[in-house]
Amino acid sequence: AVGEIDEAVLDEARSVSERHSFLTAQVADLEGALGDLTRVVRDLDRKIHRDFSDALERINAELERFMRLMFGGGSASLSLSGESAPQDREGERADASPEEEESASDARQGIEIGVSLPEKRVRGLETLSGGERSLVSIAILFAVVSISPPPFLVLDEIDAALDERNARRFGELLAETSPETQFIVVTHNRATMEAADLLYGVTMGEDGASKILSLKLS
């Protein structure tokens, strides 16, 4: 009815149709891959939360032991704050933007430290002295290290706020843990130095240049 048709128009129509079919198939593949990745992220989210919770329980068990060593009693625990566990997030909005998902993830973050010292009515870090806070921090550090011991650990002046009595307890803690981890401790504390197997000291010679001294205590 239209009359003669330009063959070039028919060729262009076929080319556009083939291109449309190709892009439609590509979009379907991308949507399928997006669904697979979303499921993988959801599964990993649940697994990470489960493994983190298990690790937190193990750390708390070790923390109780190290608190008794450092304070001769008392207790401490780590707990999640503002936490919303991703147990099953099938009900979440499918159209949630990446910014909204990131905001929801941030809302799950946070750890609180509960402390109870022997013969003291304290329940938080803000009421502790500087030395007591250092002891609690050391106990937490060693509790984390004990469940997954590294081959070596560098500690830089973490005993600076400790008096000699508590520094000796810290030295005993190093000695107890040293069979599994080699410690490199930067310190000026005499009691901590006495717990070492090998000392390296830096001093100034008569010519004003730094000089390294070593002393094996075994």
pLDDT digits (tens, 9 = 90+) for 5-33: 788 888 888 999 999 999 999 999 999 99
Instruction: Please state the pTM of the whole predicted model.
Output: 0.66
pLDDT at 87: 47
Position 43 pLDDT exceeds 50: yes
pLDDT digits (tens, 9 = 90+) for 79-126: 887 655 444 444 455 455 555 555 555 555 688 888 888 777 766 777
Q: How far apart are CA 70 and CA 93, in angstroms?
A: 48
pLDDT at 90: 47
Higher-confidence position of 71 and 97: 71
Q: How far apart are CA 67 and CA 73, in angstroms?
A: 6
Q: Are strands 210-216 and 111-116 parallel, antiparallel or unpaired?
A: unpaired
* Residue 50: partners with Cβ closer than 8 Å, 6 or more residues away: none
Position 178 pLDDT exceeds 80: yes
Q: How far apart are CA 92 and CA 89, in angstroms?
A: 5
Tell me the average pLDDT of the chain.
83
